[in-house]
Structure 1
Amino acid sequence: MQKELEDIVKAYLAASQQGLQTALATVVHVEGSAYRQPGARMLITENGALTGAISGGCLEGDALRKAQLAMLQQQPMLVTYDTTDEDDAVIGVGLGCNGIIHILLEPLGPHLALNPLTLLQQQAGSRDTTVMVTLFRPQQRSAPQPGTCILITDGGERQVLMEDGPLRTAILTDVCAAFTARRSAVKTYNDGPDQITALIAWHPPALQLLIAGAGNDVRPLVKIASVLGWHTIVVDGRPAYAQAQRFPEATRVIVAKPVEVLQHLQPDDYTAAVLMTHNYNYDIALLTALLPHHLRYTGVLGPARKLQRMLQEMEEAGTAASPEQRARIYGPAGLDIGADAPEEIALSIISEVKAVMAGAAGDSLRNNPAAIHQRAHQQIIQQQL
């Protein structure tokens, strides 16, 4: 989702430079099944250009028409699509998702000094985790819809466009809880005689993938990671290989010795590494340097006996991997999908990284009896002020 937000910010800046009106469509609540979950966003320009997605393609056309009306009126608009009726023709779209989707459309007029996109723009390129709060009134769709009014980062930056009072205090308390739980939530609060609901959307930074090695087999890995919006750092000790023109999709390409690699990046909870230099000494030296940083995923290309030898030599040299550290090292790297060609191996590795970072099993969805998406944030929780 981080890539989607980055693309939306870029599209918004481009539209603003052209003097085009824009609106932000946000999935603020879902009841039942839907293709996209709360927090999914899409930018709509007055000329019909769309960036991002709020569904599998079935809501976008109708949302475009309603967004143009919201832009004309310069007022946020709450739209609800109810697909629980098997006859999708009731709302004029072919969904088949069997759910109720609430979409908030927020015009981003030039008269607004701060809007959701300017708030997000301030965090572009940072490694901060953010929580963005969007307020809406599902029980009073014709009433004024407050929209996005809070953005806070774990780096200490904050924009709170709300007056002091019990409502603001309660929401900020739940923002802190979202940071702790690392998940989004939808909660309803008493606001005087009325009620107001908040989408408290938690957004981690883009995954940062360190790839040790600049051989030809790294190219498809970088390309797939780029499509996913991951920030890739390619590092190798060979200047003839570690060249930016060989990896145009990479965020950075660095020539460095293993002991110098960590001078060029700061590992965090959303950093993974893959060691695939095909140079045993380089890989073992970098694995030794990465070990104290407790990355959730470190993949080692090659047979299992290679990794066993590396760990044994590290222990003999005085750097023994604890059971917890060993559990985070994956060798041979990748899921068992029958990969053979470099592109297939890249897909296998990327899939394993994604599964590990998401805390998923990496199994076929048909073997999972539970819902595909987490449902905790779909239930509106009543909060008493």
Structure 2
Amino acid sequence: MLNIADTLHRWCREARPFALATVVGVRGSAPLPVGTSVAVDEDGNAVGSISGGCVEGAVYELCRQMLRDRRTPQRARFGYSDDDAFAVGLTCGGELDVFVQRIDPAAQPHVSTALSEIAQGRPVAVAQVVDGPERLLGSTLSVLGGRHAAYGRVDGGPADRAVADRARALRAGRTVRIDTGGQADECPERLSVLVHVHASRPRLLVFGAVDFAAALSQAGRFLGYHVTVCDARPVFATPARFPHADEVVVEWPHRYLERTSVDERTAVCVLTHDAKFDIPLLRLALDLPVAYVGAMGSRRTHDERMRRLREQGVTENQLARLRSPIGLDLGASTPEETAVSITAEIIAQANHGTGRPLTQSTGPIHRPSELASYR
């Protein structure tokens, strides 16, 4: 659902009913993850994709049928067909379980509220019952992160509390499927719930107002980061030079890092390769619970930087977190190529990727995402 949240928000504002088809299970190789959705309104307008094209036509027809007949929510499974090359199926060889339901914004105003919060960048979790007693299928409940308030309903009783509590315990910009209930003191009925979790944008802190920073801020913005460029030199740190940054700060880098907020998703990129900026900044950054710390410079600069950091009391465990020289070996030379190299390393570290070509690896291409606590 998060992949089409902007359009769904507009449809809800217009009180436009729609059918929502969501991937709730994946087996084998499939192009898109659990939580990816397609929606179709009553005029036949469609948005989103769940298979990269393989089964879109069949899902579209299911959505149209759901709107026309006002059916109860239903499940459909799509897989590869060896017998008929033109049959509906996934040519990648995997299987998808798809859950289709009708959403009426007038009858489910909390969905509109949740989508409005998402549009404003606030953390939200939308829980959707995709397996369990038929009377509860398709029930939705929203948890607004800023207020931790829950809206909507599953059964109007213990299931509401159980689902809301589980949704509050999640924090990731992705969708996860959880099982809950089955206990008399919690929720007597066993439920499988898809929780669409929208987190606030992660931060990319770029230190050093250089050409590489301009390209990196554009790449970071494209990847969904809230990008800050910071440099102590006002003549270089200007919004005009960094139009893709969300903010440009004129301040000594380590002083800015001391006062700004970071979390376990924050990426810190040090592009100054100037010891008077780098050393106090990296000493602080390597002691913070951030996702990524990288520093630009030659091998010689790196060796000198490591020596100075050790002299400042930075431990070997902390130094092991430093990605220096920054980026993956892509043979990059231009600022734009270097930005791709750096963001590729950030993505690989966030997802525990190897950075190797897929042709040199075996096993599943897509790894299940790890869960973190929801705030």
TM range (shorter): 0.7 to 0.9
Task: State the match for 1:86 in structure 2.
Answer: 82
CA offset at residue 86 of structure 1?
1.8
| Selected match of 1:223 from 214, 218, 243 | 218
Q: 1:32 to 1:291 in 2, by over 3 A?
A: closer
Q: 1:214 to 1:106 in 2, by over 3 A?
A: farther
Task: State the match for 2:295 in structure 1.
Answer: 300
User: Letter of the aligned partner of 2:79 in structure 1?
Assistant: T
User: Letter of the aligned partner of 2:50 in structure 1?
Assistant: I
Distance 2:74 2:82 in 1: 23
1:243 matched to 2:238? The reply is yes
Decide whether the 8 Å contact of 1:275 with 1:299 is kept in 2: yes
Question: What's the CA shift string for 1:77-112, capped at 9, x where partnerless?
Answer: 33413214324567x535213233122234332313
Decide whether the 8 Å contact of 1:80 with 1:100 is kept in 2: no
Distance 2:280 2:122 in 1: 26
Task: State the match for 2:252 in structure 1.
Answer: 257
Question: What's the CA shift string for 1:164-194, capped at 9, x where partnerless?
Answer: 65645654565577569x9833537669998
CA offset at residue 346 of structure 1?
1.1
Task: State the match for 1:135 in structure 2.
Answer: 129
3-state SS of the aligned residue for 1:262?
A: helix
CA offset at residue 63 of structure 1?
2.5
Task: State the match for 2:327 in structure 1.
Answer: 334
Distance 2:309 2:122 in 1: 31
Decide whether the 8 Å contact of 1:214 with 1:234 is kept in 2: yes
3-state SS of the aligned residue for 1:244?
A: coil
- Give the gaps of 5 or more residues in structure 1: 378-385
Task: State the match for 1:291 in structure 2.
Answer: 286
Task: State the match for 1:356 in structure 2.
Answer: 349
Q: 1:156 to 1:247 in 2, by over 3 A?
A: same
Decide whether the 8 Å contact of 2:110 with 2:142 is kept in 1: no
User: Letter of the aligned partner of 1:185 in structure 2?
Assistant: R
1:208 matched to 2:208? The reply is no
Decide whether the 8 Å contact of 1:300 with 1:330 is kept in 2: yes
Q: 1:375 to 1:13 in 2, by over 3 A?
A: closer
3-state SS of the aligned residue for 1:292?
A: coil
Distance 1:340 1:52 in 2: 36
3-state SS of the aligned residue for 1:104?
A: strand
Decide whether the 8 Å contact of 2:273 with 2:295 is kept in 1: no
| Selected match of 1:276 from 271, 277, 285 | 271
Q: TM-score, normalised by structure 1?
A: 0.78
Task: State the match for 2:361 in structure 1.
Answer: 368
Q: 1:20 to 1:172 in 2, by over 3 A?
A: closer
User: Letter of the aligned partner of 1:220 in structure 2?
Assistant: A
Distance 1:99 1:138 in 2: 24
Question: What's the CA shift string for 1:42-101, capped at 9, x where partnerless?
Answer: 4444455544431212233333333233344555633413214324567x5352132331
CA offset at residue 252 of structure 1?
2.3
Question: What's the CA shift string for 1:244-263, capped at 9, x where partnerless?
Answer: 34333322222222244236
- Give the gaps of 5 or more residues in structure 2: 371-375
Question: What's the CA shift string for 1:133-164, capped at 9, x where partnerless?
Answer: 32124897xx7732432436497444462336
Decide whether the 8 Å contact of 1:22 with 1:109 is kept in 2: yes
Task: State the match for 2:27 in structure 1.
Answer: 31
Q: 1:264 to 1:19 in 2, by over 3 A?
A: farther
| Selected match of 1:323 from 309, 316, 320 | 316
Task: State the match for 1:187 in structure 2.
Answer: 179
Decide whether the 8 Å contact of 1:23 with 1:106 is kept in 2: yes
Pairing of 1:10-159 with structure 2 (within 5 A): 10-17=6-13, 20-73=16-69, 77-87=73-83, 92-93=87-88, 95-116=90-111, 118-125=113-120, 128=123, 131-137=125-131, 145-151=137-143, 153=145, 156-159=148-151
Decide whether the 8 Å contact of 2:163 with 2:180 is kept in 1: no
Q: 1:66 to 1:79 in 2, by over 3 A?
A: same
3-state SS of the aligned residue for 2:300?
A: helix
Decide whether the 8 Å contact of 1:78 with 1:138 is kept in 2: no
User: Letter of the aligned partner of 2:76 in structure 1?
Assistant: T
Sequence identity, in percent? 28
Q: 1:340 to 1:179 in 2, by over 3 A?
A: closer
Decide whether the 8 Å contact of 2:32 with 2:51 is kept in 1: yes
Q: 1:264 to 1:56 in 2, by over 3 A?
A: farther
CA offset at residue 278 of structure 1?
4.7
3-state SS of the aligned residue for 1:222?
A: helix
3-state SS of the aligned residue for 1:184?
A: strand
Decide whether the 8 Å contact of 1:301 with 1:333 is kept in 2: yes
Decide whether the 8 Å contact of 2:39 with 2:63 is kept in 1: no
Q: TM-score, normalised by structure 2?
A: 0.80
CA offset at residue 267 of structure 1?
0.4
3-state SS of the aligned residue for 1:235?
A: strand
Distance 1:370 1:307 in 2: 35
Distance 1:311 1:117 in 2: 52
CA offset at residue 364 of structure 1?
2.3
